[in-house]
Amino acid sequence: MELRKIGWVGTRTENPEATADFFGGVLGLRFSHSGDGVWVFQLPDGSKVEVFGPSENQHFITGPVVEFLTDDVTAATEELRKAGVPIVSGPVYFEGEDDVAWVHFRAPDGNIYGITQGRDLEPPGGGGAGRSFPPFRQ
């Protein structure tokens, strides 16, 4: 499995509006869009931060969820399964929408993590995450 960077972080909270205001107003994250109980911010390298209200993503119970960027969620999911890693959600695919996909799993520390793919997680203007972030091996 080849992972290139942290591509996405999501947090579920009882106070989504205040959290989104904090991320945008205090931390200076660039607001992308919102709707249906989610606020999305994008960092200069293409990574995303999403804030969810309490009714969204019920499996986000261990704190913020970090997803690592890869080129192939399907292959990564198979590697996780072969290693006996519990899959909590997914894989979920959004074909035709920048090839977005993700899978969530429970790591030995008890926390939920994810692996994601998608052209929408590359730096604005293209260039590919692989060119900006050298691959590392797990």
Tens of each residue's pLDDT in the chain, 138 residues: 888 888 999 888 888 899 999 899 888 899 999 988 899 999 988 899 999 888 766 666 667 888 899 989 999 999 999 999 999 998 998 866 668 899 999 988 788 899 999 877 776 655 443 333 233 333
Strand-by-strand arrangement of the 65-69 sheet: 30-35, 38-42, 48-52, 5-12, 65-69, 112-117, 100-106, 87-94
d(C-alpha 34, C-alpha 115), whole Å: 22
d(C-alpha 133, C-alpha 121), whole Å: 12
Nearest Cα to Cα of residue 103 among 118, 121, 116:
116
67, β-bridge pairs: 8, 114
CATH architecture of 2-123: Roll (3.10)
